[in-house]
Chain A
């Protein structure tokens, strides 16, 4: 905070107003020009050569000061996060998912999750390195860990979480060149109970936020290298940005937002280079290609590698099999398609399962339930179902039901007319001219008839895609279409989830549009016919890129399938910045050890107020500039920091917050944390400049006092509010907050907080 009375020296260069590296000086030498000055934390730049000895000594003390501050931030950050890391010694909240998935990696069992694998892989790795053996079941929140080594996974997340305030410090320092601003931003994060809580458990969020902040930091450092293109440090920061972007995306798809931020920054950068007429087109092309390599190709490679490791490590059949195609399943040891053996060609009289070829399409399924009234004809439901089930079995019959008595059954050929009978309920696959339940343009598909007798609407023509009349239907290999004889429509899986009456399975319809799409193509997965010899079938092993694409589509489907349930109170994006409601991590009752994820309300509301303040300050500054008022140099520098540095952070906040308004999936409070990091950094810059503008109100000696007093009040507020709310993170026992005698008595400022 010693920079209160210092004046920063800005070098502007050429036509662009981009900042160069610059230097803080004490008031004793305010006007000494220095070329390419150097701020302390970026120790990798060359020393300036023309400083006087006085400057040199002041630089030394500056450097010393900076190191002290940085060490302070590091120390506080790590100690707040690692304190009581093993408490409570039971499974908290989503640890039940992510801890379990870490175990899956250690056990090498295949699973399905809506997030990309990197985060869980790192958790698994951390557990493996610290002696966790993958045997703890992580059944439900509240299970005791007992002798299992869980501290390693928690500690890993906490270490990554501890790096966030440090990154914030460095980013703000880089953007504003003011230690005060950086310190404000870092202390907001260090003493935020929400940030502490979310860093202390086995969750994806600390890992995600680590990559996001690391990417932003590298990007800001890279921007700073603008006058030394293609130097080693330029390349280093470029590549680091790329790696961290890939990391962020590899943990959660929320990483896309930071990619967008970096992308916009890069586009802006390229646009600036394009306007620099001193650069030839070749130079610009070089710049462009370097960014393509560093920010697109290299991260892509890294991201794909993560998936490759994921598929190599997880090679045993597990709970996630049914979500994937037949070909995919054949890779997994223990799956029934791994080294499968069954009759090669589809025959009459066989029992089969039919799987849709759309990615994440299910098995053709029926069950003892009727379509409800008002939804087409009140006949038995036919759906697509993602899990393996005996209700997925169908019998193949001839059009006229007299089976041939020959010892070897006849094979089904392209163009044959068949009847599919549901094995369990003996209803025939049937369609008619009623609207399908969800896709109103299609016809309804039902189960009809009894014991195999139905009507003419039960007849389907088999077509092998790309085949000719008379071709045989290969199990697993052939893509088959089922054309309805009476109406000419084709059996189709729309991918839409049926409401509750359909058990949230996927709709199956008969589409009158005969375009060939995977939705209307099916393959025969299981094929049981005792009269035919089983032949060992090698399923075509899928190409790696196919697996990659498939797993992405399955993840995206899964993500959009996470719809809010009706009776659950779900969190809305507008709740988040006002800290409306937190999340219970552990414990409900008075006797339990309770941890509640809630941001430090004082800090969060300060962030919110600062956002408004920032907008006002920018509006005032830009109107003043537009009107052409003559401003002092200092004022101009301030508005520049506000607009460039603050603008970048505001954009980051918007990109990490606004998209949630358009999302249909279920949302949680912790989705706001990445945005909150940006908001805190913006607060640092805003408040710092606000305090530095104290001389608008008072004359010099008093304005300095005001500034100093403001900083002290701020520091006190942060520390005191942390003292008040720290039990939220470090655990509360005893009575609830609305009862007397609680450690949180009188602090339940909003009715919606549940502690």
Chain B
């Protein structure tokens, strides 16, 4: 039965609403200016385009959720992916809705401000402190710049703050209410999202887990254990599942083959539409005697390539005076070529065609490999290889009548036969070719040959018993049953493309694991960037990043933080640590300065804020990748929560007299005013307008190490 009267009572925190509105205004106004590619938009943009075209790619910089969020914004704006992201500063055509590309990061960036407000409240500090934190975040130029473009830091910060806020909501809620577990669930989901946006989120997640397990540990002593399992589900199981789910969507969306295919295994490539699968569709599955195959090296370093030979011999003498066998070169060639075809021959028979029924090659069988175009046998012998003299040379055998017998028998060793089968299968089996006479293994050495070898990669045979190594493995990629016995016909056959139809499936888990592994292990050449910096420079903001410069005027956008708030943050970090040390030592000596509840609140503040700063900063000191100032922003946000809370603590617990408190109030107002003024001062570099004269720009260069660009007129 309906109870009447129907009444809705709402309490609206007007301050919260006001700061939120201001945040939206600072982050969202004139979002489509500049109408040009700004800094890393050029990097993320290419992935957005690939999402729009549903083309597979692999990016080692982070998991796919962040890219997907950006792509979602682009999708809402009707972006079709047809834009060439090739340089910073290129103008967007009118068909691209710049506003929608940048909308989602900007929204996340604006929402950080109310989140910080609420987080301070959940840490049990007053509304005034919350307002202070929100204002510091609101007037931070670097956060504004980072939010206003198609970049991921603001999204990461948003999810991290949301995770902590919802966890603290859960923790502070009364024990009885079951609705608080929805907060816990939200916290777990936000953690998964944070990790899904950037790997750096892992560290915040671990911190949250640490805090949560500390709380749970205290509960264990409580004897009313029931919801430990529930916590575990929400904070560990759910995030892991969600993380995998991001990949599920990612792989579901990207179904077409693309530029990064070659980094993946043949089986993975075959599961993508187009590319390899177009070639391999309908190939016979089992490799048989008489099969024509191309053999791809399992190593993707330095470059994916196929076993290759051509009508050119090893030079009689190398540059360094060593001799060779002068037989035909065998190399690894990174492009598709008719010279990549090899025919599998039964040593006991003469014919090079597949019998009927086809006789499959199994693990342990001995075969010969005949080069399709030149009919030379793959051979190895005790001659030092051209570039790696400790290994044996591999050649196409030519009989020069110099008492060098052919040693062209190879034993097939299928290294993944437990997972697949004993029979050599196209694409699926990874095979090692063991030279029968010397028991050396065919190996891609990865060294480029000099000019006589056309700069192709060297292939050697090496005696070694070291476990698994991808340079030893080879997979059959293209495959067909040979039908022509005559050399001429066979050449024609090799030139013709292969086609028939079967579908090869790869399970989601196999794809997920392979993709995740590749993302973590693929290394891009790290070189210093003009604006890269070292972590220690971030604390004092010795460095800046020029994001954009107008093509004809001096209007420009820089990632420069608000120096005053930056200083406040550093001071409060230092002050907290000193204060905590003093309190700890005094407590240890039995002098309790603070009541237990206040001490608890104070240490909780430290765990979240100082801990958050540490986990988001210290790992960078150990990293060997190219780092930029924007990597510091998540750590900085924690400090902005810390500063006002610490001031409130000082106000209530350290200052006794009214005069001191008034003085503190005055100081705080003065600092806030300077924060605002310095924000105003740097606004032209934050928003890119109005244009400044060279002198004004010179005036903004507060540090000698900042690079501010002047256009020569």
A630 is an interface residue with CB less than 8 A from chain B: no
* Residues from chain B with Cβ under 8 Å of A628 in the complex: 221, 223
B488 is an interface residue with CB less than 8 A from chain A: no
Bound CA span A626–B222, Å: 9
Known: A274-B588, A567-B388, A567-B447. A438 touches B622 (CB 8 A): no
Nearest-neighbour CB distance to chain B for A514, whole angstroms, equals 9
Tell me which of A271, A281, A440, A664 contacts B624 (CB under 8 A).
A664
Q: Are B467 and A440 in contact (CB under 8 A)?
A: no
* Residues from chain A with Cβ under 8 Å of B585 in the complex: 274
Bound CA span A752–B624, Å: 29
A707 is an interface residue with CB less than 8 A from chain B: no
* Residues from chain A with Cβ under 8 Å of B446 in the complex: 566-567
Known: A277-B590, A580-B467, A627-B223. A440 touches B447 (CB 8 A): no
Bound CA span A751–B223, Å: 51
Enumerate B426-484 residues with CB–CB distance to A below 8 Å: 445-447, 464-467, 469
* Residues from chain A with Cβ under 8 Å of B530 in the complex: 435, 440-441
B319 is an interface residue with CB less than 8 A from chain A: no
Q: Are A662 and B622 in contact (CB under 8 A)?
A: yes
Known: A277-B590, A626-B221, A627-B221. A567 touches B445 (CB 8 A): yes
Nearest-neighbour CB distance to chain B for A363, whole angstroms, equals 24
Tell me which of A271, A435, A752 contacts B466 (CB under 8 A).
A752
Bound CA span A598–B370, Å: 42
* Residues from chain A with Cβ under 8 Å of B220 in the complex: 623, 626-627
A581 is an interface residue with CB less than 8 A from chain B: yes
Enumerate B305-320 residues with CB–CB distance to A below 8 Å: none
Q: Are A275 and B528 in contact (CB under 8 A)?
A: no
Report B215-246 CB contacts with A as 1/0, cut-off 8 Å: 00100110100000000000000000000000
Nearest residue (CB) in B for A437 is B527
Nearest-neighbour CB distance to chain B for A398, whole angstroms, equals 32
Report A422-442 CB contacts with B as 1/0, cut-off 8 Å: 000000000000010011110
Bound CA span A275–B586, Å: 10
Known: A441-B530, A623-B220, A628-B221. A754 touches B465 (CB 8 A): yes
Nearest residue (CB) in A for B388 is A567
Bound CA span A693–B447, Å: 58
Nearest residue (CB) in A for B531 is A441
* Residues from chain B with Cβ under 8 Å of A580 in the complex: 467
A513 is an interface residue with CB less than 8 A from chain B: yes
Of the listed residues B217, B445, B588, the one surrounded by the most CB atoms of chain A closer than 10 A to its CB is B588
B589 is an interface residue with CB less than 8 A from chain A: yes
Bound CA span A108–B589, Å: 56
Report A619-630 CB contacts with B as 1/0, cut-off 8 Å: 000010011100
* Residues from chain B with Cβ under 8 Å of A271 in the complex: 588
Bound CA span A442–B221, Å: 60
Nearest-neighbour CB distance to chain B for A591, whole angstroms, equals 16
* Residues from chain B with Cβ under 8 Å of A277 in the complex: 589-590
* Residues from chain A with Cβ under 8 Å of B705 in the complex: 513
* Residues from chain A with Cβ under 8 Å of B486 in the complex: none
Nearest-neighbour CB distance to chain B for A752, whole angstroms, equals 4
Q: Are B528 and A438 in contact (CB under 8 A)?
A: yes
Bound CA span A580–B624, Å: 26
A738 is an interface residue with CB less than 8 A from chain B: yes
Nearest-neighbour CB distance to chain B for A366, whole angstroms, equals 23
Q: Are A626 and B217 in contact (CB under 8 A)?
A: yes
Q: Are A513 and B704 in contact (CB under 8 A)?
A: yes
A750 is an interface residue with CB less than 8 A from chain B: yes
Report A626-648 CB contacts with B as 1/0, cut-off 8 Å: 11100000000000000000000
B713 is an interface residue with CB less than 8 A from chain A: no
Nearest-neighbour CB distance to chain A for B219, whole angstroms, equals 10
* Residues from chain B with Cβ under 8 Å of A274 in the complex: 585, 588-589
Enumerate B512-547 residues with CB–CB distance to A below 8 Å: 527-530, 532
Interface size range on B against A: 20 to 34
Nearest residue (CB) in B for A751 is B467
Q: Are A754 and B589 in contact (CB under 8 A)?
A: no
Bound CA span A628–B225, Å: 13
Q: Are B527 and A440 in contact (CB under 8 A)?
A: yes
* Residues from chain B with Cβ under 8 Å of A569 in the complex: 466, 469
Enumerate A403-446 residues with CB–CB distance to B below 8 Å: 435, 438-441
Nearest residue (CB) in A for B391 is A567
Bound CA span A746–B169, Å: 61
Nearest residue (CB) in B for A588 is B463
Bound CA span A752–B468, Å: 8
Bound CA span A639–B330, Å: 65
Bound CA span A754–B589, Å: 59
Bound CA span A649–B465, Å: 35
Q: Are B466 and A439 in contact (CB under 8 A)?
A: no
Bound CA span A127–B220, Å: 61
Tell me which of B221, B447, B527, B588 contacts A438 (CB under 8 A).
B527
Q: Are A440 and B529 in contact (CB under 8 A)?
A: yes
Nearest-neighbour CB distance to chain A for B244, whole angstroms, equals 24
Q: Are B704 and A754 in contact (CB under 8 A)?
A: no
* Residues from chain A with Cβ under 8 Å of B590 in the complex: 277
Bound CA span A752–B589, Å: 57
Tell me which of A439, A513, A627, A750 contacts B467 (CB under 8 A).
A750
Nearest-neighbour CB distance to chain B for A651, whole angstroms, equals 18
* Residues from chain B with Cβ under 8 Å of A627 in the complex: 220-221, 223
Report B52-81 CB contacts with A as 1/0, cut-off 8 Å: 000000000000000000000000000000
Nearest residue (CB) in B for A513 is B705
Nearest residue (CB) in A for B221 is A626
Enumerate A532-585 residues with CB–CB distance to B below 8 Å: 566-567, 569, 580-581
Q: Are B465 and A752 in contact (CB under 8 A)?
A: yes
Enumerate B571-601 residues with CB–CB distance to A below 8 Å: 585, 588-590
Enumerate A706-755 residues with CB–CB distance to B below 8 Å: 738, 750-754
* Residues from chain B with Cβ under 8 Å of A439 in the complex: 528
* Residues from chain A with Cβ under 8 Å of B388 in the complex: 567
Bound CA span A753–B465, Å: 7
Nearest residue (CB) in A for B447 is A567
* Residues from chain B with Cβ under 8 Å of A438 in the complex: 527-528
* Residues from chain A with Cβ under 8 Å of B704 in the complex: 513
Bound CA span A750–B465, Å: 10
Q: Are B622 and A754 in contact (CB under 8 A)?
A: no
Nearest-neighbour CB distance to chain B for A74, whole angstroms, equals 38
* Residues from chain B with Cβ under 8 Å of A566 in the complex: 446
Bound CA span A752–B702, Å: 59
* Residues from chain A with Cβ under 8 Å of B465 in the complex: 738, 751-754
Nearest residue (CB) in B for A738 is B465
* Residues from chain B with Cβ under 8 Å of A753 in the complex: 465
Bound CA span A440–B529, Å: 6
* Residues from chain A with Cβ under 8 Å of B217 in the complex: 626
Q: Are B466 and A754 in contact (CB under 8 A)?
A: yes
Enumerate B388-407 residues with CB–CB distance to A below 8 Å: 388
Nearest-neighbour CB distance to chain B for A295, whole angstroms, equals 20
Enumerate B622-656 residues with CB–CB distance to A below 8 Å: 622, 624
Nearest residue (CB) in A for B467 is A752
* Residues from chain B with Cβ under 8 Å of A623 in the complex: 220
Bound CA span A751–B624, Å: 32
Nearest residue (CB) in B for A755 is B465
Chain B residues packing against A (C-beta within 8 Å): 217, 220-221, 223, 388, 445-447, 464-467, 469, 527-530, 532, 585, 588-590, 622, 624, 704-705
**Further 20 A-B residue pairs, CB within 8 A, beyond A440-B529, A581-B466, A754-B465:** A271-B588, A277-B589, A281-B589, A438-B527, A440-B527, A440-B532, A441-B530, A513-B705, A566-B446, A567-B445, A567-B447, A569-B469, A580-B467, A581-B467, A627-B223, A664-B624, A751-B465, A751-B466, A753-B465, A754-B466
The 4 closest A-B pairs by CB, nearest first: A752-B467, A440-B528, A440-B530, A751-B467
A-B contact pairs, 25 of them (CB 8 A): A271-B588, A274-B585, A274-B588, A274-B589, A277-B589, A281-B589, A435-B530, A438-B527, A440-B529, A440-B532, A441-B528, A513-B704, A566-B446, A567-B388, A567-B446, A569-B469, A581-B466, A623-B220, A626-B220, A627-B221, A628-B221, A662-B622, A752-B467, A753-B465, A754-B464
